[in-house]
Structure 1
Amino acid sequence: MRRSEFERAVADEFGARGPALMTDLVLTRVDGRTAAQAVDAGFPPREIWLALCAEMDVPDARRHGVGRLEPRRRN
């Protein structure tokens, strides 16, 4: 997962709450950092995404493959 995919996934899943969750919610799976702090500390975006999902009880079906853009269609 790239950082841009992570940011899209957060926006898609959490909407307007996303920025607050990124800066306020402490995630135990990334050493007690917020998601924003974990990004700054160099944690892999996928690890942060999964930690955020676990903390917010996001169903497994919505955790994997999110944030990716749809492939361009070839004519």
Structure 2
Amino acid sequence: MRLSEFRRAVADEFGDAYGRVLTGDLVLGALDARTADAALESGIPARDVWLALCAETDVPAERRHGAGLPAARH
């Protein structure tokens, strides 16, 4: 997962404004008590950060995988 895909997944799941609040303020125990933004800045892969954010906020499993990917082109 690229950073742009992570940002798209966050916006799709939580909305732009609330997503920014979550990634900047919510401390994620699974990421050594870092926020999502701090974890990304420290080099933790975006996919790992996305999954930790989903777990912490109870995003259903069916909405975790493939999130943030652009729609398929036909």
When normalised by structure 1's length, the TM-score is 0.93
Looking at structure 2, the residues matched to 30 and 8 of structure 1 have their Cα atoms a distance apart, in angstroms, of 20
Tell me the residue number matched to 1:7: 7
Tell me the residue number matched to 2:21: 20
Higher CA-based Rg: 1
SS of alignment partner, residue 43 of structure 1: coil
Query: Which stretches of structure 1, 4 residues or longer, exceed 3 Å deviation after superposition?
Result: none
Instruction: Could you tell me which runs of 5 or more consecutive residues in structure 2 were left unpaired when the two chains were aligned.
Output: none
When normalised by structure 2's length, the TM-score is 0.94
Looking at structure 2, the residues matched to 55 and 70 of structure 1 have their Cα atoms a distance apart, in angstroms, of 26
Instruction: Could you tell me which runs of 5 or more consecutive residues in structure 1 were left unpaired when the two chains were aligned.
Output: none
Number of aligned residue pairs: 73
